[in-house]
Structure 1
Amino acid sequence: MKKLFITVLASGMTTVAICQKTFILSHQDKQGFFAVSAGTSLPMGQFARCSPVDDRACMAGQGVAFSASGGYRIAGPVGLMIRGEQHRNTVNTSAMLDALYRNDTDLWTAKADNWSVLSVLAGPYVSIPMGRFSVDARLLAGRALAVLPNTSMAGNFGTTEMSVRTTGSQSTAFALGGGMSVRYRLGLSTSLLLNADYSRADFTFHNLISTATNGSVRSQSAAFSSNRVVSVVSISAGVAVLFGTKYRPF
């Protein structure tokens, strides 16, 4: 009976020690992270503007955003990070038709590919731990690649069938971004996170061509360029893997 009591007592003490160790390690601050997230992409400013008289209006609608990032703190709460983000936004085809002068009896349809913006940004960030929670703030800069979508409209003016198609193009530009994250620690090395980010880049798209078909007559414009400002806010959620324990109590 005495041996059984000692065995149970030792087992209980071991369990308590393991639980204490796990608790301490799960709260221990980590120096670095890798994270992935997904969410919604909200166009801002001229990127969302649908004015038919504004040549720089991008007529972008709500879309989706995906991101991957990694960072490491090098001096207290301050670290360096790199972040890649992909935005895909629809085009407001109704706004395209609003720019077309037509009679009420004329029937027109519009089609468009999606806007696509890929950015890779890097810069400093600050991480403030608060128990299982932590708040990160970042200010980043880098390069962005945008794809101006192909667009087309087709319909009639009276009895005459017409169509207009404009080719898209790619462009790269300097980009700025910034944002914040709130992370909740799940265990030893994983966290859930909620992100809010803003990014902006000024693009110039070259070699754009519009082709109009009027019945059997086809005409094509000379190649032209267009300047567009792409600014987006992304709200996303994801998971982070933590690494880099600075102090090792065990």
Structure 2
Amino acid sequence: MKKLFVTVLAAGMTTVAFCQKTFILSHQDKKGFFAVSAGTSMPVGRYGSCLTSDIKACMASQGLSFNVAAGYRVFGSVGLMVRGEQHRNAVDTKAMLSSLYRNETDVWTANADNWTISSVMAGPYISIPLGRFSVDARLLAGKAQAVLPNTSMAGNFGSIEMSLKTTGSQSTATAFGGGATLRYRLGRSISTHVNADYTRADFLFHNLTSTATNGSQKSTSLPYSSNRVVDVVSVSAGFAFLFGNKYRPF
């Protein structure tokens, strides 16, 4: 009986010690992270404008965003991070058609590829611990690449078949951004989080052309350039792997 009591007591003490160690390690401050997130991309400003009177309106609609990020605190709560992000936004084809003057009996359709905005930015961030929660804030700058989508419209004016096609292009530009993250620690090295970010870049697209077809007649414009400003807000969620113990109690 005494031997059984000692065995049970030892097992209980081992369990308590293990739980204490797990609890301490789950709260152990980590200096670095690698995060993956996905969410929604919301165009703002001229990027999301559908005003037909504005030739620089991008007519982008709500889409998807994906991002990966890595950071490491180098001094107290201040660190450096690198973030890669991609936005995919469809073009509002109904807004494209609204720019046409046509009779009620005329039938027109519009098609467009998607906007694709990819960026890699780096900069400082600050992390404020709140128990298992933490709040991060960041300011970033870097490079972005945008794909201006091909568009086309086709229909009729009375008995005359017509179409208009514009070619897309690619461009790179300096990008600026910032955002915040609310993080919750799930265990020793895993956390979940919610991000809110803003990205802006001013692109200049070259070698664009427009081709108009009017019945049997066809005309193509000379190559031209167009400036487009991309402003986009994203809200995403995901998981992060935490590394780099600040203290080593075990």
Q: Give the TM-score normalised by the residue count of structure 1.
A: 0.99
Corresponding residue number in structure 2 for 1:113: 113
Corresponding residue number in structure 2 for 1:31: 31
Deviation at 1:53, TM superposition (A): 1.0
SS of the residue aligned with 1:25?
helix
Correspondence 1:166 to 2:166:
yes
2:143 alignment partner AA: R
Q: Distance in 1 between matches of 2:77 and 2:246?
A: 12
SS of the residue aligned with 1:125?
strand
Corresponding residue number in structure 2 for 1:234: 234
Corresponding residue number in structure 2 for 1:17: 17
Q: Distance in 2 between matches of 1:98 and 1:11?
A: 75
2:177 alignment partner AA: G
Deviation at 1:130, TM superposition (A): 0.6
Superposed, 1:1-250 pairs within 5 Å as: 1-250=1-250
Q: Distance in 2 between matches of 1:174 and 1:101?
A: 38
Structure 1 stretches lacking a partner, 5+ long: none
Superposed CA offset, 1:108-155 (max 9, x none):
110000000000000000000111000000000000000000000000
1:78 alignment partner AA: V
Q: Distance in 1 between matches of 2:240 and 2:129?
A: 15
1:198 alignment partner AA: Y
SS of the residue aligned with 1:229?
strand
Q: Distance in 1 between matches of 2:238 and 2:40?
A: 12
Q: Distance in 2 between matches of 1:105 and 1:57?
A: 28
Deviation at 1:60, TM superposition (A): 0.4
Q: Distance in 2 between matches of 1:94 and 1:161?
A: 20
1:226 alignment partner AA: S
SS of the residue aligned with 2:50?
coil
Deviation at 1:98, TM superposition (A): 1.1
Q: Distance in 2 between matches of 1:51 and 1:131?
A: 47
SS of the residue aligned with 2:234?
strand
Q: How many pairs are equivalent?
A: 250
Deviation at 1:188, TM superposition (A): 0.4
Runs of 4+ in 1 over 6 A off after TM superposition: none
What is the RMSD computed on CA atoms of the aligned residues?
0.5
1:25 alignment partner AA: L
Superposed CA offset, 1:13-46 (max 9, x none):
0110000000000011100000000000000000
Structure 2 stretches lacking a partner, 5+ long: none
Deviation at 1:246, TM superposition (A): 1.4
Q: How high is the sequence identity, in percent, across the aligned residues?
A: 72
Q: Distance in 2 between matches of 1:83 and 1:247?
A: 27
SS of the residue aligned with 1:96?
helix
Q: Distance in 1 between matches of 2:183 and 2:246?
A: 19
Deviation at 1:218, TM superposition (A): 1.1
